[in-house]
Chains A and B, each alone.
Chain A
Amino acid sequence: MIFALVGNPNCGKTTLFNALTGLRQKVGNYPGVTVEHKQGVVALPQGETVTLIDLPGLYSLTPHSPDERIARDVLLGYLPGTPRPNAIVNVVDASNLERNLYLTSQLMDLGLPILVVLTMGDTAAQQGIYVDAATLEKELGVPARAVVASRRSGWTELYAALLELSSQEPPPSRRWNLPLVVEAEAEELADLLQRDHQLKPREAFSEALLLLGLPEERREHKDRWSPEVRNHLAGDHLRLLREGVDVSVSIAEARYADVGRVISRAMRRESVSPASVSDRVDRVFLHRFWGYVIFIALMCFLFQAMFSWATIPMDWIKSGVDALGQTLAGWMPDGDLKDLVINGIFGGVGNTIVFLPQILILFFFISLLEDTGYLARAAFLMDRLMSRVGLHGKSFIPLLSSYACAIPGIMATRTIDSPRARLLTILVAPLMSCSARLPVYAVMIGAFIPAVHLAGFHIGKFYVGLTLPALVLFAMYALGTVMAFLMAALFNRTILKGEPPSFLLEMPPYRLPSLRTVLYQMGERAWLFLKRAGTVILSISVVLWFLATYPKSPDGTSKSDQIRHSLAGQIGRVIEPAIAPLGFDWKMGIGIVSSFAAREVFVSAMGTIYNVADDAASDDSKLSVAVGEKMKSDINLRTGKPTFTPLVAIALMVYYVLAMQCMSTIAVVRRETNGWKWPLFQIAYMTGLAWVVTFLVYQGGKLLGFE
């Protein structure tokens, strides 16, 4: 038995789903789209079980968004591979009854048995709103049960209703009335749908209404319907338009009129309270000045947590993975296999799973912000800034998180409802300087940027103020940020033009977060990420190891000669002509090639090339210093000048700011956009951008006399 769980966003659907299914959940994607598919098993008393499909939160069945299209297709049984549910469990928020019942009105047309579950009774009571489930049941003509999911009150009644649901009759025939002309057209169209597509009368009428209510250009699945149906539909629109009837208006008005009738009986509103708690909180949180102060303080806190607190567990994971590798190395005989396991697999996957703490922290915060209702407020505050370049108020947090790591940032774009703004955010997020770039900046700045004091004063031995290295570091972060906004503006006006931008955002009342929901979401994201690390990232790591190891040099060659002759070294030399105009030689080419595993690998790759003694390599900070020293003393044999100059160092950093060099990000973008098109586009545009800007910086610097 399969039931579909349907409801508006913010109606308490997720809490109910978690409470009903517990840990018996499966999360995935619907084929071909990025809409999340979640299902779980409910164990009913008397040993029966029901599969519950958690459909995305929706305001209506009219397909305005991918979420709504999927939900409608699932409910109508159109989606290949997903069987049509036997019944619908409709979650309805008592504190927002009118708009929630609009969806209920649409669901009742589908001809499936329905159970209405009334949630948020406590929130409603605070606002002086009381909904009587029994009256609601009588007026709607379908069973209705009130529950409080967090306290499991009303649970016995809910289970009993679920048990009866499968054998229950579909709701009685429609009780709301359309204007006569519209009614007549809808019936004609429904007859046609029954004849040509063998739909049952109820389904045919519901489908006819959905088709009539959609403007021409928004109609999806046009090819699903027979030519007669399509012609009739086009004719209908013209006819009705001539008579001055707007179908979408009449349908919406008719439904809301019926909802009004139901509400007038089932809902009682006591004297309106002067101002709800949410209103009073928002007077501060959405204040034109204090609202931003609070927002910035929260974001600083999040940034701090991801950037510095996360490093503690990240170090644990790093040393844990290293220790595991060492133990394993002790058991394995020397040879290629051992090298593959230790350097290829443990090195590559280890470099990726260290980001797990950042992902956990970010999703802990995001779930918390989402669950309390603050996320909508943050979007409200930030939308003006973000919408100038086509982004969405909700793009802010993903972009901010990308300073720590683009992977959680890109995963966090799921909170953005507009598909276009979401894609735009994904495309530019990797331009934000992530923490993996920091080691590269650190080595380059440490070795080549003199510690000149620019402005400030001394307190004893300490200098307080701006130094040149700090300014350069800041400039790198600023460059990435500015480029992200410029590229977003560019894409918004070119490749992503078309779809109308929309910012319809509900401001839900503030709620106490449910720890259970927060932890579930954290765990879910972490698991999706680990699965990714275990598959795509593992295979790319193996390929990169292979490139750096083969062909083998004869025994006794030094490590640096070995890497020079390997495929990676050869690639480095092949790409040298392409990177020479940027001031880079083939050694940096190897660094760039191997950075594809993770940017910070640059430091250890340079360490290998410059043959830095292994004892130094055991400590990251010592390694950086040692590598920097070696780079400084490297002389180009042809010109007799140093290979690395401050200008080359700046050029290299600029390249690292802008280039897409992270296989984990590519893997995540592939997953989130469901295909290779966008990750490949991203590699192309970021590499192109990096090359052009680095070229301008290096050649411009040379013209100005820096060498």
Chain B
Amino acid sequence: MNDKQCDPICSLGLKECSLDCLGRGQKARVATVGGPNRGRLLEMGFTRGTVVEVSRRAAFGGPLEIRLRSYRLSLRVDEAQAIRVETDSTNPE
């Protein structure tokens, strides 16, 4: 299902990538949100600048667990791909 390869830019400290590219425990800020569940994601708190962290990944390419606004939410990989995040060298928190 998920054939898309992640660009290694995030790990290189470059600016923007999709949320599913973040490594476990890595934090970033939300840039834009897309996909069919965009409205829902916005209301769940994925607004611009919100700090998000990939806290866990299920085995076999299953869902991701995201930590944001002091709660935990799990998303499928394709849903996470629709969220663009910005990383910067300085720790966002």
Contact = CB atoms under 8 A, between A and B. Distances in A.
Nearest to A248: B39
B19 to A, nearest CB: 13
Contact of B60 (A62, A218, A384): A384
Interface in A319-352: none
Contact of A503 (B56, B71, B74): B74
Contact of B73 (A98, A256, A383, A507): A507
Contacts of A59: 40, 43-44
A387 B59 CA distance: 14
Interface in B51-81: 56, 58-63, 65, 69-76, 79
A256 B47 contact: yes
A500 B42 contact: no
Size range of the chain B interface in the assembly? 20 to 34
Contact of B39 (A218, A388, A505): A218
A252 interface: yes
A253 interface: yes
A367 interface: no
B69 A387 contact: no
A276 to B, nearest CB: 10
> Dominant SS at the B interface?
mixed
Interface in A222-264: 248-249, 252-253, 256
Given A62-B39, A64-B39, A252-B47, A384 B62 contact: yes
Contacts of A384: 58-63
A272 B53 CA distance: 16
B5 interface: no
B44 A504 contact: yes
Contacts of B71: 96, 98-99, 506-507
A579 to B, nearest CB: 41
A513 to B, nearest CB: 19
A215 interface: yes
In this complex, which of B37, B58, B60 has the most chain A Cβ atoms within 10 angstroms of its Cβ? B58
Contacts of B58: 286, 288, 380-381, 383-384
B79 A503 contact: yes
Interface string A30-59: 000000000000000000000000000001
A59 B65 CA distance: 18
Interface in A466-491: none
A257 to B, nearest CB: 9
B43 A60 contact: yes
A292 B41 CA distance: 28
Nearest to A256: B47
Contacts of A97: 70
Contacts, number: 112
Given A248-B38, A253-B47, A504-B79, A288 B59 contact: yes
A249 B70 CA distance: 21
B43 A62 contact: yes
A609 B61 CA distance: 55
A504 B45 contact: no
In this complex, which of A127, A387, A388, A504 has the most chain B Cβ atoms within 10 angstroms of its Cβ? A504
A214 B62 CA distance: 29
A535 B28 CA distance: 57
Interface in A495-514: 500-507
A504 B73 contact: yes
Interface string A125-153: 00101000000000000000000000000
A123 to B, nearest CB: 12
Contacts of A507: 65, 71-74
A213 interface: yes
Contacts of B60: 384-385
In this complex, which of A127, A213, A215, A252 has the most chain B Cβ atoms within 10 angstroms of its Cβ? A252
Nearest to B71: A96
A129 B40 contact: no
A214 B59 contact: no
A381 B58 CA distance: 6
Contact of A96 (B42, B70, B74, B79): B70
Nearest to A279: B55
Contact of A381 (B1, B44, B62): B62
A129 B70 contact: yes
B58 to A, nearest CB: 6
Given A98-B69, A256-B47, A387 B76 contact: yes
Contacts of B39: 62, 64, 213-215, 218, 248
B59 A380 contact: no
Interface in B22-50: 33, 35-45, 47-48, 50
A355 interface: no
Contact of A505 (B36, B37, B48, B63): B63
A64 B37 CA distance: 9
Nearest to B74: A505
Nearest to B48: A253
Contact of B40 (A282, A288, A376, A502): A502
Contacts of A380: 58, 62-63, 65, 74
A388 B1 contact: yes
A626 B39 CA distance: 64
A102 interface: yes
A393 interface: yes
Nearest to A506: B73
Interface string A365-401: 0000000000010001101110110000100000000
Contacts of A218: 39
Given A505-B74, A507-B72, A99 B63 contact: no
A380 B58 CA distance: 7
Nearest to B73: A506
B46 to A, nearest CB: 8
B72 A99 contact: no
B55 to A, nearest CB: 8
Contacts of B47: 249, 252-253, 256
Contacts of B40: 59-60, 64, 502, 504
B88 to A, nearest CB: 20
A218 B38 CA distance: 12
Interface in A195-227: 213-215, 218
Contacts of B33: 249
A214 B40 CA distance: 10
Nearest to A129: B70
A311 to B, nearest CB: 35
B36 A502 contact: yes
Given A96-B71, A214-B39, A503-B75, A102 B45 contact: yes
Contacts of A62: 39, 43
A64 B58 CA distance: 26
Contacts of A500: 35-37
A7 to B, nearest CB: 14
B67 to A, nearest CB: 9
5 contacts: A249-B48, A380-B63, A384-B59, A507-B71, A507-B72
Q: What 5 A-B pairs are tightest by C-beta distance, nearest first?
A: A500-B36, A384-B62, A507-B72, A252-B42, A60-B43
Given A98-B69, A383-B76, A505-B74, 6 more contacts: A60-B43, A64-B37, A98-B70, A99-B69, A288-B58, A380-B74
Interface of B: 1, 33, 35-45, 47-48, 50, 56, 58-63, 65, 69-76, 79
